[in-house]
Every structure is written in structure tokens, then in C-alpha cells.
Amino acid sequence: MTRYHGPVSDHFDGKTFFDPDGAPPKSLGEVLRWQFGGGRNRHTWPDWVENTHTDIPPSVVDSGARLSFVGHASWLIQSAGQNILIDPVWSDRASPLAFAGPKRHNAPGIAFDKLPRIDTVLVSHGHYDHLDLTTLSRLAVTFNPRVITPLGNDLTMHSADPAIRAEAFDWYDRVELGGGLAVTLVPTRHWSARGMFDRNEALWASFVLETPAGKLYVVCDSGYGDGVHFRRVRDAHGPLRLAILPIGAYEPRWFMKDQHMNPSDAVKAFADCGAPQALAHHHATFQLTDEAMDAPAKALDVALDAAGVSREMFVALKPGQVFEI
């Protein structure tokens, strides 16, 4: 695969990207310690859970905004006559292999053949549970949408399928999407890789999506750290109308805390970013870590209660459920 080449910056050293306010990914030794060390407490998920909701979206939404939860970190956002997918994964596995790796435990909340015309796709980074080449190729054939992604991920897409209309941007770039919509790529506390030997050769990002209904802060993957990333988005892009925040894939904490928030962290991030409403995601579809399937949603309620925040202000939707502004 062709490697990204570009000018040195405050988050690119000429070879790899880095977060000046983040932490490097765990070493291979730490990965092996987690996977094979003693004392691991990996919960068993149900093999399959039938969805209680299924969404059939309208062709367009002209006023306000309609957010449909597909599952994991995948969303359909409709506003101003435009249809936008976030980190679309319709594949059965979040893996480079068709026969191994994390598999789905529930169906997408929208059947692929029920999708409306897709105008734009936002892909946050290269991990397989976010950048799914099979789905992106299928979208290219069916809708030919623009694909907006951080630097380097376009090379991954183009090398697999030149028909994917990927456009790569840096942190802080603002991209006009048409219809009065725009998206800005903002730093997030994470990392990226597709294999063992390409760590941080492509960039990762969160998104601030400008809509007539207000600004939506979409955090597809992030650790919390000291919360500076969330406060900076509040200061640079506020006021926000809504935040989409990850709450899953967080155990064991010693291994995951720098790259994935737990529900308690997510409640702090919610306060830091200043949005009046949040939706939870990144849980209960692919088992990436050790916690139980329903643990993130339950722990979110506990964290909200402890912080004195109404549970209605930060909601964990199920696949197929819809939130409208």
C-alpha cells in the first residue's frame, strides 16, 4: 500500500502521525500481556441478539436533522436534503479476514437496500470497525458518494478500490458538503493502523458537522485523557447542539484507557464539550474488548446518576432507533 507523504507538522513527523496531547498505542508486548496474561476477565456475549427496532429512513429530510443509529459507530444523518453516513460498516466482521476477527452480534439498524441516496460518507480512521472497505465499495457502486477522511486513509481506500471517491483532509480542515452543510475534522485522542507494521501512518479525527439544526460533534473513537480535546472543540466550535460520544470497548482499563473512553469518561467529555444533548455509540455490536455486551449502557446510567445528569440528556440508542432535532 502507498504510504502518505506530506509536510512535517505539529502532529506529523514526516513518517507517522501523533497526538501532541495524547498517548502512543500500546506495544506488542502489552497486547500479548492483555490477550494471554493471567487474570483476564473476558465476558461472553450472546452469539446473536435480534434487534427490537428497524429504521426505514425517508428519502430526504429538509428541516431539522434526523439521526438513525445503524450500530457500533455507524450512523445515518439526514439534514438539509443531504444524507450522510458516519463510519459505515455493514459487513459481518470488523476484521481483515472473512473467517476470523470480531463478528456482528446484531444486524444493522437499517438494511442496506433501505438506505436513501447517500451523498457523503465520513470515515474517522483506519481501524476495521470504522473503515470497512467492503461497505465503502458497495456504497461506491450504489450511490457514488464523496468520502471524507483524514490524511492517508484515502490511500487505503484507493489501493483497494479506485471507485471509492475518497478525499483526504488534515485536522482543522473545513469541507463544504452542499446544502448549507459543512464538516470540520478535529483532533481526537486515538491512533490508527490496518496491520502490524503501519501504526499511525494514517491520521484519525473526530468531526464537527454544521447543519441548519445546529452543530453536531461526532466522536467516533477517543480516549479521555484530561479532557482537553473536548474543551477545545467547545471553545473553537461551540455552541454545539448535540454530541455523539463512544462509551464501549474499554476493558481492561489499564490497556484501553488511552484510546477508548468508558461511560464515566464519556459523561465527563459530555460536560467538557458543552453540548446540551448526547447520544452514545461504539458498543454492543462488535466485541472488541472484555466487558459484557450490556455493560456500557448500564454503566452510562450509573455515571449519569453519579454526576447528577438526567439520563434523557445522554441516551444510548439501540440499532434502528432514531433521534430527531
- CATH code, 291: 3.60.15.10
**Total domains in the fold of the chain:** 1
pLDDT digits (tens, 9 = 90+) for 247-268: 999 999 999 999 999 999 999 9
Q: Is residue 6 part of a domain?
A: no
CB atoms within 10 A of CB 221: 26
Helix (H, G, I), strand (E, B) or coil at 59: coil
Over the stretch 203-225, which tens digit does the pLDDT of each residue have?
A: 999 999 999 999 999 999 999 99
Considering the chain, what percentage of its residues have pLDDT values greater than 90?
93
Q: Give the total residue count for the chain.
A: 325
Q: Tell me whether residue 268 is in a domain.
A: yes
What is the reported pLDDT for 1? 61
3-state secondary structure of 277: coil
φ, ψ for residue 35, nearest 5 deg:
-70, -35
167 contacts 120 by C-beta, under 8 angstroms? no
For 31, the grid coordinates are 497486547
For residue 191, tell me if it sits in a domain.
yes
Per-residue pLDDT, 2: 79
Cell of 224: 479521555
User: Which of 39-43, 134-138, 304-308 comes out lowest in average pLDDT?
Assistant: 39-43
Residue 38 resides in a domain: no
Helices and strands, counts by H and E, the chain: 7, 14
Q: Is the residue at 244 inside a domain?
A: yes
Pick the closest to residue 221 from 232, 200, 240, 206 (CA basis): 206
Is the model's pTM score more than 0.95?
Answer: yes
Share in percent of the chain as helix, strand, coil (round to 5): 20, 25, 55
Domain around 224:
52-324
Q: What is the pLDDT of residue 213?
A: 97
108, 70 in Cβ contact below 8 A? Answer: yes
Question: Cα torsion for 228, 232, 238, 241, to the nearest 10°?
Answer: -40
CA distance 150 to 204: 6
- Res. 153 pLDDT band, cuts 50 70 90: very high
Distance CA 325, CA 30 (A): 43
Q: What average pLDDT does range 164-169 have in this prediction?
A: 98
- Please tell me the predicted confidence (pLDDT) of residue 39: 75
Indicate the burial class of 237 (C-beta count within 10 angstroms; 0-12, 13-18, 19 or more): middle
In a domain, 76, yes or no: yes
